[in-house]
Amino acid sequence: MKILVTGGSGYIASWIIKYLLEQGHQVNTTVRDLSNEAKIFHLKQLEKEKEGKLHFYEADLLEEGSFDEAVKDCGVVIHSASPFKVSGIKDPVKQLVEPAVKGTRNVLRAVSRAKSVKKVVLTSSVAAIYGDNADIKNIEGTKFTEEHWNTSSSEKHQAYSYSKTEAEKVAWQMANEQQRWKLAVINPGFVVGPSITKRKDSTSISLIISFLNGTYKSGVPELYFGMVDVRNAAMAHLNAATKPDAEGRHILVSETLSMPELAKILHDHLGDQYKIPGSSIPKWLLFLVGPFSGFNWKFIRQNVGIPVYFDNTRAKNNLDIEFIPVSQSIREQAEQVISDGLVEK
Ligand code: NAP
C-alpha cells in the first residue's frame, strides 16, 4: 500500500516512516524544505536502506494545493505536520492556529481530489480533549475519554491546545461530509522516548535536553502530563492506517507523570553528572516568578498541582497498543540525546 506521511522530518513522523518501510509499504512524505539536509538526513538514510520505497515531496501547510502531488495514488494519508510549540510564541494565530487549521483543510482537500484515498489518520492530541488540568474537575468520572473535547482553550489562552482542537474539528467536519474515506484520530499525550532525528527544536526533544542542561536547575513546577512513548505513538498511527475497522478518536497515554517525577527518573538513572532539577517550585513562588518566566497566573491557577488521568482502553483494544513504561522511554531518550551530543554536562 502507498501511504503519505505529512511532515516526515518531525520527531513522531520519522518513527512512523521507519515502521511503515519496515512493514514493506511504499511511502511518500512531505517536508517543508527539501534542501534542509540537517532536517532530513535520517530520512535519506532510510531511503538508502529501502531503495525505491520512500519518496520526498515539498509542501507547506499554508500553501493551497501543495500536497496534491504527494497524495496521488495513496490509499492512506497520515497527516502529522503541525507546529508544536508551547513557548516563545509571539503571534499564536499566525504561528499555531493558521498552520494547524488551514493546513488540515489543505491536506484534506488534496485527499478529496485524489480518489485513491480510503483512510486518513490524523495526529491530533490530548490537547483537543482538554485544555487546562482543572478541566478534569468539570467532567463526570475521574478520567478523560474520547467523548471529551477541549472547551477552555482559545487563541489567547493555551493557543497550541486551541490549534489542535480546531484542526481536529475541521477534520471531523470534512470527514462527515463524504463517504469515501474514513477518519481515525490519534490523540497522544506528551510524547517521549528516543528520537531518530537529531534535531533539537522539536518540543519533545528540547524538553528532555532542558532537564539535563541546567535550564531548570532551580526547580520545576508540579505540572502533570499524560505521557506516551514515541514508538507506541508511531505504531498507533500504523495500526490505525492498516486496520480497516480502525476509526474514531484514540487517546494515547501510558501514564500520568509530573515534572518533578520526570526529573527524579533522570536523576535516579544519571546521578549528579547533569544539572537535573532537584526540587519542585512551590505554587506560591510560581505566582511571584511565573509571569517573568512565561507562566501567567491563569495558567498557574488552572494547572499547577492538578493531576489529570486518561482512559486508554480504545487504543489498547482497537489499535493493539502495549504501552511502554514512561520511565523506560525517558531513560532511553536521555541516553539518545547524550550519545547524539545534544547535551553538555
Ligand atoms: P515536530 O518534531 O516539531 O514536527 C512537526 C512537523 O510539522 C515538522 O515536520 C514540521 O516541519 C512540520 N510543520 C510545522 N509547520 C509546518 C508548515 N507550515 N508546513 C509544513 N510542515 C510544517 O513535532 P512532533 O512532536 O513530531 O509533532 C508531530 C505532530 O504530533 C503534530 O501534529 C503535533 O501537534 C502532534 N503531537 C505531538 C505531541 C508531542 O508530545 N510531541 C503530542 C501530541 C500530539 P519542519 O521539519 O520543516 O519544521
pLDDT in tens, 266-322: 999 999 999 999 989 888 888 887 777 778 899 999 999 999 999 999 999 999 999
Over range 242-247, report the average pLDDT. Answer: 96
- For the CA of 192, the closest atom of ligand 1 is 40
- Position 125 scores a pLDDT of 98
Model confidence at 97, pLDDT cuts 50, 70, 90, reads very high
Q: How far apart are CA 177 and CA 111, in angstroms?
A: 13
Residue 7 CA to ligand 1 centre (angstroms): 6
Q: Which helix (H) or strand (E) holds 229?
A: strand 224-229
Q: How many helices (H) and strands (E) does the chain have?
A: 13, 12
The three cell numbers locating residue 238: 500504523
**Cα 8 to ligand 1 centre (Å):** 9
Which residue puts its alpha carbon closest to atom 12 of ligand 1?
81
What integer is the mean pLDDT of 192-202? 96
The CA-CA-CA angle for residues 253, 256, 262, to 5°, reads 115
Which helix (H) or strand (E) covers residue 146, if one does?
none
Distance CA 166, CA 158 (A): 12
Query: Distance (Å, rounded) from C-alpha 73 to C-alpha 69?
Result: 9
Nearest CA owner, ligand 1 atom 42: 190
The neighbouring-strand residues paired with 228 are 191
* The pLDDT of residue 86: 85
pLDDT level of residue 344 (50, 70, 90 thresholds) = confident
pTM higher than 0.95 for the full model? yes
The reply to whether ligand 1 has any atom less than 6 angstroms from the CB of 333 is no
Average pLDDT over residues 97-126: 98
Q: What pLDDT sits at residue 87? A: 83
pLDDT category, 11, cuts 50, 70, 90? very high
CB of 139 closer than 6 A to ligand 1? no
Q: How far is the CA of 9 from the centre of ligand 1 (A)?
A: 8
If one residue of 80, 97, 225, 228 were mutated to test the ligand 1 pocket, choosing by the most ligand atoms within 8 A of its CB, it would be 80
C-alpha of residue 140 to centroid of ligand 1, in Å: 32
CB atoms within 10 A of CB 220: 22
Helices (H), 114-229: 159-176, 203-212
Cα–Cα distances in angstroms (integers) from residue 241 to residues 102, 109, 141, 213, 273, in the given order: 23, 19, 31, 38, 42
Residue 88 has pLDDT above 90, yes or no: no
pLDDT digits (tens, 9 = 90+) for 29-75: 999 999 999 999 999 999 999 999 999 999 999 999 999 999 999 99
Residues with Cβ < 8 Å from 345, sequence gap 6 or more?
273, 274
Residue that is written with C-alpha cell 495513496 in the block: 74
From the CA of 218, how far away is ligand 1's center (Å)?
29
What's the confidence (pLDDT) of residue 252? 98
Q: Per the structure block, which three cell numbers stand in for 269?
A: 538513572
Residue 130 backbone dihedrals phi, psi, to 5 degrees: -145, 160
CB atoms < 10 A from the CB of 36, how many? Answer: 12
Task: Check residue 50 and give its pLDDT.
Answer: 93
Helix (H) or strand (E) holding 54: strand 54-58
pLDDT at 345 over 80: no
User: Is the shortest distance between the CB of 197 and ligand 1 below 6 Å?
Assistant: no
Instruction: Please give the number of the atom of ligand 1 that sits closest to the Cα of 197.
Output: 2
pLDDT of residue 148: 98
Of 6, 9, 12, best ligand 1 pocket probe by most atoms within 8 Å of the beta carbon: 12
Distance 285 CA to ligand 1 centre (A): 33
Burial 239-257 (b: 16+ CB within 10 A, else e): bbbbeeebbebbbbbbbbb
What does the pLDDT read at residue 207? 96
Residue 121 CA to residue 239 CA, distance in Å, equals: 10
* pLDDT at residue 304, rounded to an integer: 95
DSSP run (H or E) holding 267: helix 259-270
Indicate the length of the chain as a whole number.
Answer: 345
Q: Residue 287 has what pLDDT?
A: 83
Q: How much distance in Å is there from the Cα of 284 to the middle of ligand 1?
A: 34
* Ligand 1 site, residue 195, Cβ cutoff 6 A: no
Atom of ligand 1 nearest to the CA of 32: 47
Report the pLDDT value the prediction gives residue 226, as an integer from 0 to 100.
98
Report which protein residue has its CA nearest ligand 1's atom 36.
Answer: 125
Quick one: which atom of ligand 1 is closest to the CA of 191? 40
pLDDT over 90 (residue 126): yes
